[in-house]
């Protein structure tokens, strides 16, 4: 086993070596511009791009013409929300989204609101982080033009009832955008069955290269149109100008193909591994709390709060394991994770949270090592924690008058 261990697969994933192999010919040898229509260099590039488009579309049950390449999911989210609003603003300017979306959606919505271009409803989530489809239905007005709800949350892994939301959107004739960045490649995604009109996703979360993503844009029933957010050569059906990064796209395609081929096996393996990690930690450590949905969550996701210890110190004590925390000790505001807060997790438990993100290349040995380390460090830091000491003495921490600073 090699250290450090990478257990932060929601932030990014290592590239699969098979993806790199597929990409390599497209840097030096087949370097053409896929938009060059008049020579063999361009044709070779175009062929590779179209092949990748098919691989990507197949994974989500779309038509290859419905894939618009972008630089990543953040750009896809921006293009979807801003592009739709600009196209359909005569019909209305009301957008419905949820409070646990990625900031690429939330901050896009907020910026449109701040400019007076849109009104936005931010739906609450339940204690597991799920959006209630009834809330979506009730939020719809005659001015609503877009519903944007994520497939799976990046912090807690909770999977939303996207299919039901898609049905509601369809029935009301409202476009449905889904940020599926964490879900595509990990769980089955079918834009037809789920009633999705626009969908953001990216290669580097599924063992592909960084720097390329896609926006699925439905071509029929309905035909979705949007205003490009960048002017230029009119690539990608006029929705996103810019020379296509052919090697990255080839890698994206290969990554999708591998995910499709291995999804059932990989999902079962990661779920079992995750469950073992969860059980071993939570059985051994009292007052550890699962954040997110107990079952309806991404296979590789585990988010736990360890009462009485602070997240950043936990990470510091496990330097050889790459993890992430909902603590915000370094942020200027001292505000911990807005996602955990939206579930109703107390601020102090939000400060105490750790996200484990398991992926394709993690091994059982790494999980064993992690279990041992987590138990060690939580025990050590609780020994050091005045809150744990007080709780053990029977002090109700909520009754203490703290001097907030």
Partner 1 sequence: MAYSDKVVDHFNNPRNMGSFKKDEEGIGTGMVGAPECGDVMKLQIKVQNDTIVDAKFKTFGCGSAIASSSLATEWLKGKTIEEAQQIKNTDIVQELNLPPVKIHCSVLAEDAIKAALADYQKKSGDKTEAAQ
Q: How far is the CB of 329 from partner 1 (least distance, A)?
A: 4
Distances (CA, A) of 263 to 108, 252, 257, 290, 360: 32, 16, 10, 25, 10
Using CB under 8 A as the binding rule, whether residue 329 contacts partner 1 is answered as yes
Name the minimum Å distance from CB 404 to partner 1.
Answer: 4
| SS3 (DSSP) at 73 | helix
Which pair of tokens denotes residue 85? 């609003």
Q: Max alpha carbon distance in the chain (Å)?
A: 80
When asked if residue 402 is in the footprint of partner 1 (CB under 8 A), the reply is: yes
- Our finding on whether 403 is near partner 1 (CB under 8 A) is yes
| Binding-residue pattern over the window 355 to 384 for partner 1, x denoting contact by CB under 8 A | ----------------------------xx
Grouping H, G, I as helix, E, B as strand and the rest as coil, residue 301 is strand
Instruction: Please say which residue, 108 or 313, places its beta carbon nearer to partner 1.
Output: 313
End-to-end CA distance of the chain: 43
Catalytic residue check, 259: no
Q: Judge whether 167 and 195 are in contact, CB under 8 Å.
A: yes
The CB-of-157 to partner 1 minimum distance in angstroms stands at 23
333 is an interface residue for partner 1 by CB under 8 A: no
What is the enclosing helix (H) or strand (E) of 349? helix 347-351
Binding of partner 1 by 404 (CB under 8 A): yes
Identified binder of partner 1 from the candidate list 236, 257, 310, 366, rule CB under 8 A? 310
Pick 100 or 327: Cβ nearer partner 1: 327
Distance CA 271, CA 242 (A): 39
Structural Rg of the chain based on CA atoms: 22
Tokens 């789920």, residue?
Answer: 194
322 forms part of the interface with partner 1 (CB under 8 A): no
Cα–Cα distance for residue pair 345/292, rounded to 1 Å: 10
Q: Which is nearer to partner 1, 95 or 343 (CB)?
A: 343
Choose one: 26-34, 79-87, 230-238, 342-350; the region binding partner 1 (CB under 8 A).
342-350
Residues annotated catalytic, as ranges? 329
Site of interaction with partner 1 (CB under 8 A): 308-310, 312-313, 316-317, 327-332, 334, 336, 346-348, 351, 383-389, 397, 402-405
């Amino acid at each position: 086993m090699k250290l450090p261990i990478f257990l932060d697969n929601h932030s990014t994933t290592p590239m699969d070596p098979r993806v790199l192999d597929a990409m390599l010919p497209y840097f030096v040898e087949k370097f053409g511009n896929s938009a060059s229509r008049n020579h063999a260099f361009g044709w070779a590039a175009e062929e590779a791009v179209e092949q990748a488009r098919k691989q990507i579309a197949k994974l989500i049950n779309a038509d290859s013409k419905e894939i618009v390449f972008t630089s990543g999911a953040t750009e896809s989210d921006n293009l979807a929300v801003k592009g739709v609003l600009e196209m359909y603003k005569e019909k209305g300017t009301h957008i419905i989204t949820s409070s646990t979306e990625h900031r690429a959606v939330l901050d896009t919505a907020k910026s449109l609101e701040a400019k007076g271009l849109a009104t936005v409803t931010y739906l609450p989530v339940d204690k597991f982080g799920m959006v209630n489809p009834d809330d979506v239905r009730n939020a719809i007005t005659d001015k609503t033009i877009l519903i944007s709800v994520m497939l799976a949350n990046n912090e807690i892994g909770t999977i939303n009832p996207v299919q039901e939301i898609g049905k509601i959107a369809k029935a009301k004739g409202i476009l449905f955008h889904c940020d599926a960045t964490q879900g595509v490649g990990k769980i089955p995604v079918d834009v037809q069955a789920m009633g999705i009109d626009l969908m953001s996703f990216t290669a580097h979360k599924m063992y592909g290269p960084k720097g390329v993503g896609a926006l699925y844009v439905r071509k029929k029933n309905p035909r979705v149109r949007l205003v490009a957010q960048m002017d230029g050569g009119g690539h990608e059906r006029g929705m996103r100008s810019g020379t296509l990064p052919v090697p990255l796209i080839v890698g994206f395609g290969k990554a999708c193909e591998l995910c499709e081929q291995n999804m059932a096996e990989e999902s079962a393996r990661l779920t079992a591994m995750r469950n073992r990690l969860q059980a071993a930690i939570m059985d051994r450590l009292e007052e550890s709390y699962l954040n997110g949905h107990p079952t309806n969550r991404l296979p590789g996701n585990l988010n736990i709060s360890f009462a009485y210890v602070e997240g950043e110190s936990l990470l510091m004590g496990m330097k050889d394991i790459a993890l992430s925390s909902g603590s915000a000790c370094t942020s200027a505001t001292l505000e911990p994770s807005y996602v955990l807060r939206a579930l109703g997790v107390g601020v102090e438990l939000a400060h105490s949270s750790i996200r484990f993100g398991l992926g394709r290349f993690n091994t059982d040995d790494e999980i064993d090592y992690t279990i041992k380390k987590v138990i060690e460090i939580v025990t050590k830091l609780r020994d050091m924690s005045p809150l744990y000491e007080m709780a053990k003495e029977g002090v109700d921490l909520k009754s203490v008058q703290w001097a907030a600073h």
